[in-house]
Amino acid sequence: MKRDFETLFADVAWFSPDLEAEFARDWVRYRNDDNPTGVCWFVPAAVACPVLSVIIPTADADRGGYFIKLMQSLTEQDMQDFELIVIKGDKRQGRGINIAVAKAKGQYVLTVDDDSSLPDAQTFSKMIKAMDEHPDIGMAGGNNTVPDWVSPFVQRVMEQVPRRSWSPVSEIMDSDLAEHPCLMMRADLFRQVGGENEVIPRGLDPYLRQVFREADTRVVVLPDIIYHHLPPETWAGLLGQMYRNGYQAAYANIHSPEWVIETPAAHGDFVLRVPLRQRILRYPLRMLQSLWQGKWLWVICQTWYAVGFVRGWLKERT
């Protein structure tokens, strides 16, 4: 029976998780208990042992209205044997996800960003079927596509900025494009590899993909799984995001270079770690290539990313 999450959300009682007791997570490899700030909303499944635990980390349980729309899309899924765990307000996204997984009872966990949308009502059932049929898959993502209802600005961003969208795959593909906005994992394996890295502020996706690969399991993108994860809708929001990404990248390169992993924009094999000097040297070449291809919007984004990186590098080195 389908559940009306929108009505439930109006009466939801948020509570603060006890990190040392109910939400103990001793299996976390890189744990951070400094200043925990999150609160939790838990919606149990109709059965004691659900197949799936849906986990949504969120800053404010709103995200400009996208969160409520996401709740509504959950009621439209044809597979309702899932529990829902929402972690609100924890500034460490990785810690929030780990806290949720510590409570989760599902065989699989599915992370969904609070501004993602799931247009296909069979998303859950299709992903579970693929995981059941392919035990060598440890982590599976979908295909982020451009919806036809977005503004021309958002459409250009998603078409020009790498990893913002791509053409859906036609077969199961080993890929670095499996990402948190719609990501299914085997719960036991997630705990086995130590879960999310709670220490780093940026680079959660690359880190998690790599530890799954090191556990000799596949990281893939599935065909016929579509989701939408949109960039900011204004110039101010987009450039602010790029600036923050650059600043956090500098922080990671200074404080945790061992966790700085390459993030390619295509499926298939890639070089795991590229030296910082090489990445800096190739930067102007990529800018020129983007200009030649007419991707002026991406050039502007990269410029603000560079500004954030330089600012972060200078500040964090002092």
SS (H, E, C) 190-255: HHHCCCCCCCCCCCHHHHHHHHHHHCCCEEEEEEEEEEEECCCCCHHHHHHHHHHHHHHHHHHHHH
Assess contact for 246 and 308: CB atoms under 8 A. yes
147-161 mean pLDDT: 95
Assess contact for 102 and 23: CB atoms under 8 A. yes
State residue 17's pLDDT score. 65
For residue 169, name the pLDDT band (cuts at 50, 70, 90): very high
Assess contact for 17 and 45: CB atoms under 8 A. no
Q: What is the CATH number of domain 5-229?
A: 3.90.550.10
Spatial CA neighbour of 147 closest among 69, 209, 58: 69
Of 1 and 122, the structure prediction assigns the larger pLDDT to 122
Spatial CA neighbour of 249 closest among 288, 290, 206, 218: 206
Residues of the chain with pLDDT > 70, as a percent, come to: 94
The DSSP-derived string for 137-154 is EEEEEEEE---TTS-HHH
State residue 215's pLDDT score. 97
State residue 35's pLDDT score. 78
57-83 mean pLDDT: 91
Assess contact for 144 and 181: CB atoms under 8 A. yes
Q: Helix, strand or coil for residue 182?
A: strand
> Over the chain, what is the mean pLDDT?
90
User: What is the residue whose two structure tokens read 């020129």?
Assistant: 288
State residue 47's pLDDT score. 84
Q: Please, what is the Cα angle at 46 between 45 and 47, to 5 degrees?
A: 90
261: tokens are 């992993």
In this predicted model, what pLDDT tens digit does every residue of 274-316 receive, in sequence order? 788 888 888 888 889 888 999 999 999 999 999 999 999 999 8
Q: What are the residues whose beta carbons fall under 8 Å from the beta carbon of 85, sequence distance 6 or more?
A: 40, 41, 42, 43, 53, 54, 55, 56, 100, 103, 104
Highest mean pLDDT among 17-31, 40-54, 211-225: 211-225
Assess contact for 124 and 50: CB atoms under 8 A. no
State residue 224's pLDDT score. 94
Domain with CATH 3.90.550.10 in the chain: 5-229
100-122 mean pLDDT: 95
State residue 235's pLDDT score. 96
Assess contact for 107 and 51: CB atoms under 8 A. yes
State residue 106's pLDDT score. 96
User: What is the residue whose two structure tokens read 């993108």?
Assistant: 221
Reported pTM: 0.92
In this predicted model, what pLDDT tens digit does every residue of 235-282 receive, in sequence order? 999 999 999 999 999 998 899 888 888 888 888 887 788 788 888 888
Does residue 170 carry a pLDDT above 90? yes
